[in-house]
């Protein structure tokens, strides 16, 4: 087990995020249940590079939220949210206008919650907004402000407790990563401060499994890909086996993760920009690396039943797919 980091914050200066220019107009979708590969065409004006939790449409940065066969893209630079229904063969994006710019999203009971957005002056706010996925309208819920002014948080929903969990992020005032954890109760419309993580981290990957939240990777002080488990019922944290690979040490997270058939499957990029998939078994606290023999400049965007993988019309590379039901 790696030595615990004593500092709660990251003291390294931020690394500017480089915007990639690429002509991407299709997603290669691997249907895990039916073992089929399908191309989903994107409207030509909105070319997509997929990553998690961020992606680009043209030169605009988006946060990605997935649920079943739907992809929701929250603009980080304009008051816009796009949705893509992968069941629709046309694959066209639908658009609706948000009340703030940017933010991190999660879906709870059919509602899209967006937190840490920006005002019209591009200042991060402590507000959380709520949108109905059917009507694409903002609900007039008087949600109280968060306790802290943060960006780059991890946000995940837990249906059984009717809560949204805000984990980690960066303090806008101090520019330091934090290990703080807050929970929003949709039923009570209140915020609760919970026990802190062991490691401060920026843009971590989060999954829920058996009443626990697994926090994976993110931007940590020494670049290590640590993992921790939060027991939702007991309000306790445990350090787990870190991922076996050193991932790209950059400001945007290069790790995404899902839960599939009792395993946690993580996707990411190494410092030399090779795509890596690792499988974690919660029963023995071990990671197992899977060799893909491919490389890319963006990680994979995934949800619980599909992998959505960048496809370049220009070079037809990188093009890769993997069935996570491997032996």
Q: Please, are residues 171 and 150 in contact by the beta-carbon 8 Å criterion?
A: yes
In the chain, domain spans = 24-312
Q: Please, are residues 126 and 172 in contact by the beta-carbon 8 Å criterion?
A: no
Residues whose CB falls within 8 Å of the CB of residue 280, separated by 6 or more in sequence, listed in order? 214, 227, 241, 263, 264, 265, 266, 286, 287, 288
Radius of gyration of the chain (CA): 18
User: Per residue in 68-113, pLDDT tens?
Assistant: 667 777 877 777 787 766 565 444 456 667 777 778 889 999 899 9
Query: Is it the case that residue 248 has pLDDT exceeding 60?
Result: no
Among residues of the chain, what percentage have pLDDT more than 90? 24
Query: Is it the case that residue 157 has pLDDT exceeding 90?
Result: yes
Confidence of residue 321 (pLDDT cuts 50, 70, 90): very low
Whole-prediction pTM: 0.73
Average predicted confidence (pLDDT) for the chain: 69
Q: Which CATH superfamily is domain 24-312 in?
A: Kelch-type beta propeller (2.120.10.80)
**Whole-angstrom distance, CA of residue 99 vs CA of residue 79:** 6
Confidence of residue 253 (pLDDT cuts 50, 70, 90): very low
Laid out side by side, the sheet with 70-75 consists of 48-49, 54-57, 60-67, 70-75, 80-85, 93-97
**Helix, strand, or coil here: 29?**
strand
What is the 3-class SS of 116-153, one letter each residue? Answer: CCECCCCCECCCEEEEECCCCCECCCCCCCCCCCEECC
Query: Is it the case that residue 53 has pLDDT exceeding 60?
Result: no
């Amino acid at each position: 087990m790696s030595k615990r980091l004593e500092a709660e914050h990251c003291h390294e200066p931020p690394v500017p995020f480089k915007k990639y220019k690429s002509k991407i107009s299709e997603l290669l979708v691997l249907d895990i249940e039916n073992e089929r590969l399908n191309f989903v065409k994107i409207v030509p004006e909105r070319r997509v590079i997929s990553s998690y939790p961020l992606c680009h449409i043209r030169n605009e940065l988006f946060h990605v939220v997935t649920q079943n066969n739907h992809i929701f893209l929250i603009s980080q630079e304009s008051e816009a949210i796009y949705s893509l229904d992968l069941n629709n063969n046309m694959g066209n994006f639908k658009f609706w206008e948000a009340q703030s710019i940017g933010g991190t999203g999660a879906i709870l009971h059919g509602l899209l919650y967006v937190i840490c957005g920006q005002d019209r002056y591009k200042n991060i706010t402590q507000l959380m907004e709520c949108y109905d996925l059917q009507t694409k309208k903002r609900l007039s819920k008087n949600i109280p402000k968060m306790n802290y002014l943060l960006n780059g948080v991890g946000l995940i929903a837990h249906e059984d407790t009717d809560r949204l969990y805000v984990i980690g992020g960066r303090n806008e005032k101090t520019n330091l990563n934090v290990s703080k954890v807050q929970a929003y109760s949709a039923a009570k419309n209140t915020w609760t401060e919970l026990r802190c993580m062991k490691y401060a981290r920026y843009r971590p990957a989060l999954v829920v499994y058996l009443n626990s939240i697994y926090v994976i990777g993110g931007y940590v002080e020494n670049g290590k890909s640590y993992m921790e488990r939060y027991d939702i019922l007991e309000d306790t944290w445990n350090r787990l086996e870190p991922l076996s690979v050193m991932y790209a040490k950059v400001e945007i997270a290069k790790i995404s993760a899902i839960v599939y058939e009792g395993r946690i499957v993580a996707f990411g990029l190494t410092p030399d920009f090779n795509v890596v998939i690792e499988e974690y078994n919660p029963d023995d606290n071990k990671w197992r690396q899977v060799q893909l023999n491919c490389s890319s400049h963006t990680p994979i965007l995934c949800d619980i039943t599909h992998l959505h993988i960048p496809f370049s019309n220009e070079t037809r590379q990188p093009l890769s797919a993997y069935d996570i039901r491997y032996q």
